[in-house]
Chains A and B, each alone.
Chain A
């Protein structure tokens, strides 16, 4: 669809680095985030959470809390519609509403420490907090399980008695913590292994980590007397939030408006609803706006970690360095409800290479953790840690340079992934060539206890639906309305594409993220899709505007619209010309305002590859790893705003470093998170990471008029693997476990 006409490849706006439209609001503190909202008559909601990782809820008595002066409403899951067996399509596949609802407020059983059990609203947060302590809940604690392999055992504590393993379309006959088994296969795997000169097989495990967005979840709801529900929230997708909330409350979707506030980071963790339906129910009960803000420990204990995993990867190669076969066994935990990120994990594990034969088995496993959520390239980072570690070991054993080894086997146009899709033009080889040519790779690393690692990674670039509209203003500017919440500057990168299309400056476009009543349906900000898909919508809006403006020029010039051309912000015929701004000023004489609009739904995934190089030093006494130098290389297709692309690469790399070295959910013997604070859950500070160098490679995406590939997610994929290789060269120990924290690395170094 978007195979655009031959477009001028010399861009005026694309590729420049304008300051963001909301820059001043961000640095002066004026930007309004969810927690900053205050409405007339607003009250404050708080959630009572389970102290047990697994327990039957025998009874909940809220009467004393309801009587506390200042308390205006109390709710439990009993107030919500019964959603048994209801399935909804939430844009990214079918979701069992009963599970979604039970995650928002526990239904009969608490499935993880921190699981929401009841909620109150009161005139101040302090009163609401006090009221929580008056709610009496009778629990019957059950044994808990928090490690994926333990949860898969036959005698493991069972989380749900209505979940049966789904395997290749078939449903098992007895309930299990294994919610799904995925299987992909290509070629004759046994044969291919038999024909290999070298086979390396290793086991890996990784701990659950949190997305770590700085802004805690927050939502405010007002259920109006006329039955209309308005929700102000911090979300990656206002339309998904609207749909989930409407479904859980069983009200018509048109009765719900979601107003997205500024959002303080999400990384995949702000797609599912947590507070929205609860705030709505409390508001319905008290008739006032109810605001709910999570504390940091609630964010850790009750919102999306990304899965812990157990993985086995086996890869074969010939003497001259051609991959022959691959086999992967991946078990990821889904947390308390089915539907984790094992699917993309299975698709990504071998996605960087051309495998003649490969087999992947994946398991979606329930355990007593919060329901896992997406985290930047969900599922791919774990898988890449395993696969890339084995690739490095193979290269070493074969005596082939790791970049050369990758180049011999790199996925390219025409490569078929083990799960089926065939790649269009992709830029993996180009990232490897860029790595080889980089100053970092060419400078030798000297010094004791030091090592260098390299690894690659892959992530999709989902399309999905985006809408946008734009009004041409008489002063020659354009107001752009979009539905994609802006987490990292997408207002600007989308506005730039409209500006480029119209031939005006980025500053002349005023982008605005609007509520669900004010723009067409738009899917989540996620899947590296906004600059790609909403950008595509902006491009289409631009073309719609240009078409209309040409008609208007024709009216003014009393000629045929076909005679009017638009080039570089000007409209012209053979002998007349007018700038965009001039024509914009005359629209009222030609029939009134011009509004452009578009909705898009690009099909077929495109792809983003990256390769990272890292140098580390390991203290032999304390096993502490210091990152000395880091270079991230990625194919961006076309970097609309290079600083934002670099920002994604740097931010993702640093998250990956945190994942590699320190971040982990630590559980006590009862399955409770023991480090639910920034004090004990260690995210990197400015002192923990070096400057992250970036190299942007541009292999245009054939599916986008400006060649854009999404870049948001790939950068987190290579770091743990690259770090593990670097640690190996520094210490001689191949770490097969994340994080490589000092105690764990030290223990491995003793062996």
Chain B
């Protein structure tokens, strides 16, 4: 059992013990290492000012992705290489992104600039020739209030057209990789007297720890947990870090079912679903922001149990199965039975979510997923929906409808489904289904929208579904 954190920052190795392990990465960088280029602006993943690049082993190299350092707990970084804005220069020279930001006048007040420089560098690391859309989508995790984004995007285009030094060239991974591999094989735990965390490498260890510490806060990507801590909604004293548990990794596809580990990130799921379930991939592509998709996991989204969780309408209409593991062994629960009430799940003390099995809709089925929000990206939903219809010879054979943000949990509109079954697939049926669905729910009004608006969105979904199908068929 190792009792110190080991990780690298801008190529330098650091070890940390004690209370600092519970700091956010941004606080550690700013206060302990005095790397103040990383800014903290919202402390909840909404602005990207705190962006850093996190490199982890991927084959024989390090793969770097952009993360919001304000919502990463330091212990999650064990065995990783963190590159901050200060680490991007090549000796005395600015990097191509930095130079382009200067030349294109990409900063006004400059407070957002380090975060943009990091996010742009991350984008270019992973996408050699980004187009306009890649740039705009790739920077949705970063807010700038001064520039209107025009010169920043111009800087991105300029940088992309120039040769640049990769992070691999800047920080040869060889020596780091060796140590990282070794670190990966070691369980880790620490306490500062008041708080403690365990970062096991096997599921069995994780379950044992949870049995001993049923109050432990599980941490996957921390995109929910980190926000809750920063907003002082929770103050856990015991953490169980799931980041290194091997059994929670991986995504398999046997042609009928996609099985993914609870730790699968949204970025990984997007890659796995892009061809297989493009409708879901489209929802994932507007999930949070790049930073959130790199850190956030499907398991966290499911267990966080928000009625507006983006993955759930899809998981509900596909009747995905959740594999739960605990001291009594493993059991499987259909996701539609998993939620008992607002943020209440079927998880028993000592249990955790290990895998998600998603039956892939076959070609004969029509799947549509909707997310209505104010902005196009990095936004929580006002309303979500999933509709899966199996139509044969003009008749609806099977119907599944899931609605989010209209009740304490995501819900299946069972009466609407029953109504649809056996009906002809036409405009009148779908219109009536909308009325039926609206009658079946009683949404609330909140800052994101009124109840009447949500009811209308519910009605609209069915007609829109119909018209989209007709258009696709034509």
Contact = CB atoms under 8 A, between A and B. Distances in A.
Interface of A: 17, 19-20, 22-33, 35-36, 38, 129, 211-216, 262-267, 295-297, 487-489, 621-622, 624, 626, 643-644, 646-647, 650-655, 661-662, 666, 674-675, 677-680, 682-689, 691-692, 741-743, 746-747, 750
11 contacts: A33-B36, A214-B143, A262-B109, A265-B108, A677-B46, A682-B379, A685-B149, A685-B375, A686-B152, A688-B375, A742-B449
Nearest to B36: A36
Given A19-B103, A29-B84, A35 B44 contact: no
Interface string B145-170: 11111111100000000000000000
**Interface hub of B47, B101, B376, B447 (most chain A Cβ within 10 A):** B447
Interface string B83-101: 0111011000010011101
Contacts of B318: none
**Interface hub of A27, A32, A33 (most chain B Cβ within 10 A):** A27
A661 B145 CA distance: 15
B105 A644 contact: yes
Nearest to B454: A743
B149 A213 contact: no
Contact of A27 (B42, B94, B139): B94
Interface stretch (B248-256, B309-317, B456-464): B456-464
A300 to B, nearest CB: 10
Interface stretch (B110-118, B207-215, B268-276, B347-355): B110-118
A654 B375 CA distance: 13
B43 A265 contact: no
B374 interface: yes
B459 to A, nearest CB: 9
A582 B400 CA distance: 84
A30 to B, nearest CB: 7
A643 B117 CA distance: 20
A388 B408 CA distance: 43
B114 A27 contact: yes
B433 to A, nearest CB: 15
A678 B47 contact: yes
Nearest to B49: A214
A692 B150 CA distance: 7
A36 B37 CA distance: 8
Contact of A651 (B110, B148, B231): B148
A622 B145 contact: no
A253 to B, nearest CB: 28
Interface of B: 30, 34-44, 46-47, 49, 84-86, 88-89, 94, 97-99, 101-103, 105-114, 117, 135-137, 139-140, 142-153, 231-232, 372, 374-380, 382, 446-450, 452-453, 456-457, 460, 463-464
B377 A685 contact: yes
A678 B143 contact: yes
A23 B456 CA distance: 50
B137 A687 contact: yes
Contact of B449 (A621, A647, A743): A743
Nearest to B452: A747
Contact of B147 (A267, A621, A650, A661): A650
Contact of B37 (A29, A489, A651, A675): A29
B102 A687 contact: no
Contact of A28 (B98, B148, B374, B449): B98
B148 A654 contact: yes
Contact of A686 (B40, B117, B139, B231): B139
Given A29-B37, A621-B457, A296 B378 contact: no
Contacts of B112: 214, 264
A31 to B, nearest CB: 6
A669 B84 CA distance: 44
Contacts of B232: 129
Contacts of A488: 108-109, 146
Contacts of B49: 214
A647 B108 contact: yes
B145 A655 contact: yes
A743 B37 contact: no
Contacts of A33: 36, 39, 111
A686 B114 contact: no
Given A19-B103, A622-B372, A624-B372, A679 B111 contact: no
Contacts of A652: 148
A23 B107 contact: yes
B447 A29 contact: no
Nearest to A632: B148
B108 A487 contact: yes
Given A214-B47, A687-B140, A741 B105 contact: no
A24 B460 CA distance: 51
A615 B86 CA distance: 41
A685 B109 contact: no
B43 A295 contact: yes
Contacts of B110: 22, 25-26, 31, 262, 264
A24 B86 CA distance: 11
A69 to B, nearest CB: 14
